[in-house]
Amino acid sequence: MSSSIEFETSPFTKALLRGSANHTDRDCVVVSNDRATYGELATRARLVGRALIALGIHRVDRVGILMSNSLDFIEILFGSSLISAIPVLYNARFKAREIIDFCQGEIASFKIPRHVLLVKDWPMGATKILKYELRDRINAELNLD
């Protein structure tokens, strides 16, 4: 049985950006009671990407994501991909020690974390993530000063 359906393969970030340009106000993602249009998700993903760059993440660096399914998870997944970092998805039930063990055993080129900090929200200004506040908060919470 043959099919006349043609598939297009492209990185999913291109699909988001194309959707944002062509269908800005259409729903892109619905997770439980949260939803985001293509335009909203593209804007949020760019904010996350900029924050990751400010934290020193570079192209092909791996970004560990330890979250349950949520709009935040999707924003981080797209944001890290937009800057050409590689999202590494962890089991949401992992504990800090399991994350470190996983990194050592499975991802040889990953920078093994000395510390793991689970962040629930980003410090925001009117339209941007406040990078200096995020850095200061992480340093304070992990006693890195």
Q: How far apart are CA 72 and CA 56, in angstroms?
A: 20
What are the helix (H) ranges across the chain? 12-22, 38-54, 71-82, 96-106, 131-141
CATH number of the domain enclosing 114: 3.40.50.980
Place of tokens 């900029």: 50
Q: Model-level pTM?
A: 0.65
- Structural domains of the chain, count: 1
Q: How far apart are CA 140 and CA 117, in angstroms?
A: 11
- Averaged pLDDT for residues 64-75: 84
Does 7 fall in a domain? no
Does 18 fall in a domain? yes
Residue 36: what pLDDT?
95
Residue 109: what pLDDT?
42
Residue 134: what pLDDT?
81
Domain of 19? Answer: 12-141
Does 6 fall in a domain? no
Q: How far apart are CA 9 and CA 133, in angstroms?
A: 39
Percent with pLDDT over 90 in the chain: 21
Judge whether residue 87 has pLDDT over 90.
no
Residue 115: what pLDDT?
61
Does 68 fall in a domain? yes
**88 forms bridges with which residues in the sheet?**
64
Residue 27: what pLDDT?
94
User: How confident is the prediction for the chain on average, in pLDDT?
Assistant: 80
Instruction: Give the 3-state secondary structure of residue 121.
Output: coil
H/E stretch holding 87: strand 86-89
Does 94 fall in a domain? yes
Percent with pLDDT over 70 in the chain: 81
Pairing outcome for strands 86-89 and 62-65: parallel
Does 44 fall in a domain? yes
